[in-house]
Amino acid sequence: MSLGRAALTLPTFNQWRLNQQHLSRLESDLLIAHVTKMSRVQVLAHPEQPLNKAQTLKLDQLSLALCDGTPLAYVLGEKEFFGLSLRVNSSVLVPRPETELLVELALQRLNPTDGVLDVGTGSGAIAVALAASPLQLLVDASDNSQSALAVAEENARLHKVAINFHLSDWFRSLPVTRWHMIVSNPPYIAPNDPHLDALAAEPPTALIAENNGLADLLTIIEESPRFLQPGGWLLLEHGYDQATAIRSAMFKRGFSKVESFTDLASIERVTQGCYCE
């Protein structure tokens, strides 16, 4: 009888959700779906389904992690990007929707079987999205973090795409070759930027750059022409207030057709240029 009474104390989906007033409805539903291995649609359709003891304990642990500031993507271990579910952990940045603009612009400029390099690949979000396109691109990706490359390699295996990965500090250890396009979402936040407080759980080396956030962007602009095919393109994601500086640096380095594009928030987020020798 005691076991029966204990079982009755276990919450249903809806009861557990109602007890999590610090979580949004979406967060609660996604945690329940993750722990029960159900879809969110199934969770919504069966609000009175009971949780077992192990599921309840796990949900309480994940809820506490969210309260402590761990991003939802790290708690779930995955994040959707460009229609793909990607593995993520604290070794890499959480892929952002605004970075999808970089992928969209790259695909507009690339031709079938072109070679493209993603420098500073992190989770591999950009590289995997490009490799998964119908263009059958020849994709390389680099990062200076072995743990980040491990995540990117897992995502490539997950989506069954072929990507050549390189452990390299930007271009330093890359093979001597030239690509049709180089893309990057490098660190671009200034060390004293107040927005960093909200990003404390993510790796600072993937966020912060010296020179008011411009240092890595300027390094890529300076070095990339040596690795581009004649007429090759460089596409960079950057901060909300950096487009003018990036355009100026590209023009100075000899790029033409330099143009910045706005994200869904009407912020200049990506700048591209053609290196037409």
Average of per-residue pLDDT across 87-104: 97
Question: Does residue 180 carry a pLDDT above 80?
Answer: yes
Average pLDDT, the chain: 94
Burial class (CB in 10 A: 0-12, 13-18, 19+), 19: middle
Cα–Cα dist 94/87, whole Å: 10
Q: Which residues contact 95 (CB under 8 A, 6 or more apart)?
A: 73, 79, 81, 86, 88, 123, 125
Region(s) of the chain under CATH 3.40.50.150: 81-275
pLDDT score for 8: 55
Q: Which residues contact 203 (CB under 8 A, 6 or more apart)?
A: 90, 91, 92, 93, 145, 148
Task: Answer yes or no: are the C-beta atoms of 263 and 238 closer than 8 Å.
Answer: no
pLDDT score for 9: 79
Region(s) of the chain under CATH 1.10.8.10: 2-68
Using 50, 70 and 90 to split pLDDT, how confident is the model at 1? very low
CATH 2.60.40.3140 applies to domain 81-275: no
Using 50, 70 and 90 to split pLDDT, how confident is the model at 195? confident
Question: Does residue 205 carry a pLDDT above 60?
Answer: yes
Task: Answer yes or no: are the C-beta atoms of 216 and 170 closer than 8 Å.
Answer: yes
Least confident of 1-15, 121-135, 214-228: 1-15
Question: Does residue 156 carry a pLDDT above 80?
Answer: yes
CATH number of 2-68: 1.10.8.10
pLDDT score for 27: 94
Question: Does residue 3 carry a pLDDT above 70?
Answer: no
Q: Give percent of the chain above pLDDT 90.
A: 92
pLDDT score for 176: 86
Using 50, 70 and 90 to split pLDDT, how confident is the model at 5? very low
pLDDT score for 2: 41
pLDDT score for 42: 95
Least confident of 44-48, 141-145, 153-157: 44-48
Average of per-residue pLDDT across 9-32: 92
Q: Give percent of the chain above pLDDT 70.
A: 97
pLDDT score for 105: 98
